[in-house]
Amino acid sequence: MVNVNALHKYGILSEYTHAVGTAQAANAVERGAVTYFGDDEAFQIDRIEIFPPVGPMPFPIENILVQLVLDNDAIDLIFLDSRMATPYAVGTPPFKPSALLFGERRSVNPLENFCLKGRKSLQIRTMGLLGGVAATSSYYVRVSGDWFKTDDALRNFFGPVFNPVPVTVEDGVRDRRVTIHRPTPINLDNWLNLSGGCHRATKPRVLPWINHARNALNTTPNTEYPFDLRPGGVTYEWENMHWDLDNKTFIINDYIGTWPDEVGQHLRTVWWEYGGVEYPQPIIPSGVPRWDTRYNFNELPLGMPPHSGILSFHGPRPVDRRLLGTNEIMELRMMDDGVAINHTAADHVLVAQWSRKIEF
């Protein structure tokens, strides 16, 4: 017998508007209305879009932080800048319309479907960053995904089991691999225990991990600049791009993007280090194995409106080789072109990464 109460819809789950007329200073927090869900309902988030606050040219996008609160719990995995998830970006994944997607929403493979999942409530939280938002600016944030009502709606959409077969990701460059297999019946009771996208699920689990950093200090010319909280290279703890990974945590970096210093235009290269080894590396070592960002077409662009300066508006770049970071120090660094990069609101560097975290 068909359950007539079984419903599924895809659309906007939550939205928030900051209207013109009120400034939002650095560290000032605003919260949207809470969307509540019933006892027989569940949801998953696959997209966030930020229509950012726009100030006077030539520095159009002002800085806000966007976070999500699911089931009264602030998600400590997603830290978005207003420059990261704009509707102008067209590259994550390629040819998709938004700069931030959490994977394939219909898949039962946790390496593909790491959409954030919740049951009770959803809220958007924003905070002013360096420079804040002027009273003449407005912005809009919307969160989209699937809404389900009853167990039948979940099973009709996904089938009976999540993660039914083992799935493996391999790092062929360094001969590493990791397999996820925790088959779980799909129903409302198990929804928050699926192996993909649930931050409180039983391990092993796959989680979206998306964050960004900006330099809190001026760079020293021709010297590597670490985005590390301990020497004061960044301002906030969630900006720290230096991780001491144990052997039960794996990081897969999928996309990277950077917003160079607009005024000085002195950013030269950006790179990751895995256990002290730089990435990217060419197949045949020659030159500097780093992403070079000195040209008008930024090699690691973030999505943005058309701009009269050096910045591209083509969205973040897919990482060529998806290395598995684990049991090592992993960090992000940059270097200027011989002239110091400032850390002012109009002339800092912003680097963002879109990643998956596997925890055992």
Residue 112 belongs to some domain of the structure = yes
Residue 61 belongs to some domain of the structure = yes
- Exposed / middle / buried, residue 83 (Cβ in 10 Å: 0-12, 13-18, 19+): buried
Residue 203 belongs to some domain of the structure = no
- % of the chain at pLDDT higher than 90: 66
Q: Do 13 and 143 belong together in one domain? A: yes
Residue 178 belongs to some domain of the structure = no
**For range 71-77, the mean pLDDT:** 92
Phi, psi angles (nearest 5°) of residue 182 = -140, 75
pLDDT, averaged across the chain:
87
Q: Do 213 and 105 belong together in one domain? A: no
C-alpha torsion 262→267→272→275, nearest 10: -140
Q: Do 354 and 213 belong together in one domain? A: yes
Q: Do 116 and 215 belong together in one domain? A: no
- Decide if pLDDT at 18 tops 60: yes
Q: What is the pLDDT of residue 262?
A: 79
- Condensed to tens digits (0 to 9), the pLDDT of residues 148-191 reads 999 999 999 999 999 999 999 998 888 899 999 999 999 999 99
- Condensed to tens digits (0 to 9), the pLDDT of residues 48-63 reads 888 888 876 655 678 8
- The CA distance from 313 to 350, in Å, is 15
Q: Do 27 and 86 belong together in one domain? A: yes
Q: Which amino acid, residue 136?
A: T
Q: Do 12 and 143 belong together in one domain? A: yes
- Decide if pLDDT at 132 tops 80: yes
Domains in the chain, number:
2
Among residues 158, 184, 219, the one where a domain terminates is 158
Q: Do 141 and 56 belong together in one domain? A: yes
Q: Do 213 and 322 belong together in one domain? A: yes
- Exposed / middle / buried, residue 114 (Cβ in 10 Å: 0-12, 13-18, 19+): buried
Q: pTM for the full model?
A: 0.91
Q: Do 139 and 214 belong together in one domain? A: no
Residue ranges making up the domain that contains 88: 7-158
- Decide if pLDDT at 286 tops 80: no
Residue 231 belongs to some domain of the structure = yes
Q: Do 234 and 299 belong together in one domain? A: yes
C-alpha torsion 242→104→141→98, nearest 10: 90
CATH of the domain at 280: 2.60.120
Residue 73 belongs to some domain of the structure = yes
